[in-house]
Amino acid sequence: MSAHCNLYKDMRRAWCRGINFANMTEDIRRIFLSVTSLPESYSILSLFCLIATFALVVSFKLYRALATPLRGAQGPWFARFSRLWLLREVYHGTFMRTNVKLHEKYGPIVRIAPNEYSIDDPAAVQIIYGSKGRFTKSTWYDASGFPGKPNGFNDHNIERHAAGRRKVSSAYSMTNLVQLEPFINDCTSILRARLDEFASTAALVDIPRWTQCYAFDVIGEMTLGERFGFLDAGKDIQGIIQTLDSTLFYASRVGIYSFLHPILFWLNMMLNMEGMGFLINFIQDIVTTRMGKPPPDGKDENAPADFITKFQRIREENPEKIDKEDIMASAVANISAGSDTTSISLTSVIFHLCKFPEALARLRNELEGAIRRGEIADSITFKQAQKLPYLQAVIKEGLRIHPATGLILGRVVPKGGATIAGCLFPEGTTVGINAWVAGRNKDVYGDDVEAFRPERWLEDAEVVKRREAYFMTFGSGPRTCLGKNISLLEMSKVIPVLVLEYDFEPEHPDRPCETENVWFVKQKHFRCRVRRRSVKS
């Protein structure tokens, strides 16, 4: 009996360790010794069962890998048989760069898991993400929400998602968002004051942290009508940024084995660990408090109406169009996802302007020329910014060279299969495009894809049109990021202020930008000294 127990314990130890090649030999030795210590009849039977089970698993993996019509698709050898390769790459936080190298090696189709493929083909955008397609989101997205409760980000149901989006989409149109410019102006003034403080002391400024503080306060004003206070504090408030990072880390990894999400999610909740549940509940408490306040009477026509106010007014006029759950869902989405894209993109522009001074000089010349001609004032409007072609090119190039997201936007091939990049993919296969891969396609963007060259967006109209068609930073089609216009609005207004009024001197000017991919590709350890400069007029 004790021999049976030892065998069970050794097998359980090996299972709990998981795939750890350093321990694998020792685990196999222990299990073998446990088997051979059993009575002879039991030993033979147990050994046979172990070999049979191993052979069955291996046979199934081989059959699935070799029987698929996509057996010719290339990629890492281990990815043909297991999702563990993908888990390892995502866990290390560098998947986007690995993904780019794999496409350079293997071409437009790369296998990244037994039934999952990364695609690099401009023609595939409309097939996979177009409105006429029936490609649903992959199971990876399931880990980004409460188990069994679809949200606007992870909903697999195309019709339900479209209906929910129609309820709130008008509020995210640029026509409506420009009415919120005063909120951005307020936060920009506070950011300017904080940078002036740093300039007076020559202190090093953690750029990613301060751009996220700025973006969080802006989205707070836009959504709730008041700032969270990140710019005032200059640090995380109530651990909300850390919790958001932990949630992204969890979702990006667990999504690879999404069937584990219901178990791990509720385990985290029972253990009262800070994570997705804590984050959502925290935001819901804030939003509930705000919704409990009466909306402004609207008599002051110049006062901007935040998202909650707009939604409440819509509900008062037509209760059937939008309900409290719709308002709550939109507010939670704004706050939980509304800061990272802008923060990452602003940091990308600052970093690359420091690395490419010729682009910085040309942008300053354009802005100072506009000031001399009286085309822009102290608080540049979005309308004015749209008329500055090099500014818009700088923003777009910052978004191309460092997209905010760094994993494939996975979709499931619908019934009947689909031909993508000249290959027939059976229904049920997961395919997707990574914005980092798309933005480094040399046939589309040129051989200098690693260079920050805003001029590529000012070249021949047909060439630029082709590039814009393969610009995947905000996704594509009906599921394009709803907050896209918020990010573009903020960047168009704050970048001129930063470029005209400050010099940024990196602490380590020759170092590449350190990043961690937790779905959002966040910059790390990028610090600058900030110096005030006089604006030429």
Query: What digits encode the pLDDT tens for the residues 163-219?
Result: 999 989 999 999 999 999 999 999 999 999 999 999 999 899 999 999 999 999 999
pLDDT of residue 117: 98
Residue 197 in domain: yes
Q: How many domains does the chain have?
A: 1
User: What gap in Å lies between CA 231 and CA 211, rounded to an integer?
Assistant: 9
Instruction: Note the pLDDT tens digit of each residue in 60-74.
Output: 444 454 556 676 789
Residue 16 in domain: no
Contact status, residue 493 vs residue 185, Cβ threshold 8 Å: yes
User: What gap in Å lies between CA 68 and CA 6, rounded to an integer?
Assistant: 40
Q: What is the mean pLDDT of residues 444-459?
A: 98
Q: Does residue 38 register a pLDDT over 50? A: no
Q: Does residue 274 register a pLDDT over 90? A: no
Q: Does residue 15 register a pLDDT over 80? A: no
Does the annotation list 481 as a binding residue? yes
Identify the domain containing residue 451 by its residue range.
118-532
Q: Which of 91-105, 156-170, 299-313 has the lowest mean pLDDT?
A: 299-313
Residue 186 in domain: yes
In sign, the C-alpha dihedral spanning 434, 438, 440, 443 is positive
User: What gap in Å lies between CA 321 and CA 367, rounded to an integer?
Assistant: 43
Residue 54 token pair: 């191993």
Residue 72 token pair: 């010719």
Residue 517 in domain: yes
Global pTM reads 0.85
Residue 477 token pair: 């089609």
Contact status, residue 202 vs residue 507, Cβ threshold 8 Å: no
> Which residue in 469, 188, 148 sits closest to 346, CA to CA?
188
Residue 91 in domain: no
Please state the separation of Cα 191 from the chain's center in Å: 25
**406: amino acid identity, one letter:** G
Determine how many CB atoms are found less than 10 A away from the CB of residue 121. Answer: 21
Q: Does residue 302 register a pLDDT over 70? A: no
* Paired strand residues for 527: 206
φ/ψ (deg, to 5) at 325: -65, -40
Residue 381 in domain: yes
Instruction: Note the pLDDT tens digit of each residue in 235-263.
Output: 888 888 888 898 899 999 999 999 999 99
Residue 262: exposure state from Cβ atoms within 10 A (0-12, 13-18, ≥19): middle
The pLDDT > 90 percentage for the chain reads: 65
Q: What is the mean pLDDT of residues 510-514?
A: 92
Q: What is the mean pLDDT of residues 320-332?
A: 86
Determine how many CB atoms are found less than 10 A away from the CB of residue 79. Answer: 23
Q: Which of 4-13, 306-315, 506-515 has the lowest mean pLDDT?
A: 4-13
Residue 73: exposure state from Cβ atoms within 10 A (0-12, 13-18, ≥19): middle
Give the strands of the sheet with 527-532, arranged side by side: 204-206, 527-532, 502-506
Residue 108 in domain: no
Q: Does residue 300 register a pLDDT over 60? A: no
pLDDT of residue 338: 80
Q: Which residue has 């001129």 as its token pair?
A: 496
Reported as a pLDDT band with limits 50, 70 and 90, residue 75 is very high
pLDDT of residue 69: 63
* Paired strand residues for 529: 204, 505
User: What gap in Å lies between CA 35 and CA 312, rounded to an integer?
Assistant: 68
Reported as a pLDDT band with limits 50, 70 and 90, residue 327 is confident
pLDDT of residue 51: 63
pLDDT of residue 10: 45
pLDDT of residue 525: 94
pLDDT of residue 325: 85
Reported as a pLDDT band with limits 50, 70 and 90, residue 491 is very high
Please state the separation of Cα 520 from the chain's center in Å: 3
Calculate the average pLDDT of the chain. Answer: 86
Q: Which of 98-102, 122-126, 158-162 has the lowest mean pLDDT?
A: 158-162
Give the strands of the sheet with 411-412, arranged side by side: 109-113, 116-119, 430-432, 411-412, 136-137
Instruction: Note the pLDDT tens digit of each residue in 340-349.
Output: 999 999 999 9
pLDDT of residue 53: 57
Residue 67 in domain: no
460 CB-near residues (< 8 Å, 6+ apart) = none
Reported as a pLDDT band with limits 50, 70 and 90, residue 97 is very high
Q: What is the mean pLDDT of residues 156-163?
A: 92
Which of 146-150, 283-287, 367-371 is predicted most confidently?
A: 367-371
Reported as a pLDDT band with limits 50, 70 and 90, residue 16 is very low
| CATH code where residue 246 lies | 1.10.630.10
> Which residue in 359, 306, 322 sits closest to 486, CA to CA?
306
68: three-class secondary structure by DSSP: coil
Which of 14-18, 132-136, 496-500 is predicted most confidently?
A: 496-500
Please report which residue ranges of 318-356 form alpha helices under DSSP H.
324-337, 340-355
Q: Which of 31-40, 242-251, 372-381, 502-511 has the lowest mean pLDDT?
A: 31-40
> Where is 126: in which H helix or E strand?
helix 124-129
Residue 101 token pair: 């190298």
